Chains A and B, each alone.
Chain A
Amino acid sequence: MMQLLIHAIVAFASSVGFGIITNIPRRTLLPAGVTGAASWVVYVVITGLTPNVILPNLLAAVTIGLVANTFAVVVKAPVNVLYIPSLVSLVPGAIIYMSMKAFTLGQEAAAQQGLIKTLTIAISLAVGFVVAEALFRPLRRHLHRRPAR
């Protein structure tokens, strides 16, 4: 429980930090942080339950998709502004770096393995977004109808 809390806090900080670097508007910093933290907690919990690589990433991306889309309607911002910072902890950046490093050092097998893992994770994340957007479409109509301008 304690560990999850620490995970959530660090993930929140990461997302807010990346939001600052990519210069997202101030009113979207908090939603981005919350989205990042929520998705990372989902990732950590699912990773503890299964040795599978695809499932945690996919579900974390579904979480991002749902939470970010809701926030996007609330703060009236393009979803991408929330997607990018909240993705930062999940995204296979470290793995593609290690793979390219293996490549520069002439370790072809490790480089190939890294590239394929990068692709696997990226595909699971992207599919997660597609699923989330499909789920969200009927919800959005509902959200849009309610708040008066």
Chain B
Amino acid sequence: MPSEKTIIELCGRVGKLLLENGAETGRVEGTVEYIGVAAGVPISCHATMTALFVDADTDTATHLVKVRTKDFDLRKVDAVNTLSRQFTAGAIDFATLDQAVGAIETTRRDYTWPQKILGAGLVSVAPMLLFQAAWSDLAWAFGVGIAGYLAANQVGRHTETPYIAVAAGGAVIGLLATGLQRAGVGVSADNIIISALMPLVPGVAITNSLRELIAKHTISGLVRAVDAVMVAGAIGGGVVVGAALAHLLTGGRA
């Protein structure tokens, strides 16, 4: 039988994994509490986007876990979900759960780079612009979107400063799209930019934020909303800088 302390500690790790990788707050709290009950310790969990509190109802001590959200990795969310299902159904014991959670924390299973690049390209052809933008622009957006996604990824790997990565992605997209228009091959730089920005833009974050607000997870909802506006602002700034640079390079007025 695992001690209460190890159960709480594991619950904290599970909650952190879920929260970091894009699960909703309600689901995080629910999963952690289910695991606690299944492990024999009734647990209260309170999650916001920035911190997670786990508390055994029988004890006064509270376990606090700091969380900083990163990029979504929904595969981890799914893996934790599967584990917690198995554990609450009694299919695996506590030691196995502990080990498996450790494995999810350390390993990152991912699609290969060519697959991800193709994925970014596909997202960059926005259905919103079908029959509105020129077909050639949508084709350009495929490539420009990939460039923006790669730029954001590479920069994100080398810096800890938040928002720089998406701004760099935006700048690359603004630069290329404006350059294409100036070179006379792209019809509308605006359409290329909007379409190519799809992989970077925080639309999902906004909608998730509203869903949190409706579920009365007010703090998380506000955190997500403000973050989304900051991301959009960084992208917007990046695009403006990139476009201005393209105008300078091609010798026109900005």
Contacts and interface: CB of A to CB of B under 8 A. Distances in A.
A130 B207 CA distance: 12
A24 B236 contact: no
A100 interface: yes
B74 A3 contact: no
Nearest to A6: B130
A123 B208 CA distance: 10
Interface residues of B, number: 59
A80 B207 contact: no
Contacts of A94: 126, 128, 194, 197-198, 201, 203
Contacts of B131: 3
Contacts of A7: 127, 130
A122 B213 CA distance: 11
B104 to A, nearest CB: 12
Contacts, number: 170
A89 B126 contact: yes
Contacts of B122: 13-14, 16-17
B22 to A, nearest CB: 7
30 contacts: A3-B131, A7-B127, A10-B127, A14-B123, A16-B119, A17-B120, A17-B122, A18-B119, A21-B120, A21-B123, A22-B22, A23-B110, A24-B74, A25-B74, A40-B127, A78-B78, A80-B23, A80-B74, A84-B74, A84-B204, A89-B126, A89-B128, A91-B201, A91-B204, A94-B194, A97-B236, A98-B194, A100-B237, A123-B210, A126-B207
Interface of A: 3, 6-7, 10-11, 13-14, 16-25, 28, 40, 76-78, 80-81, 84, 87-94, 96-101, 103-105, 118, 122-123, 125-127, 129-130
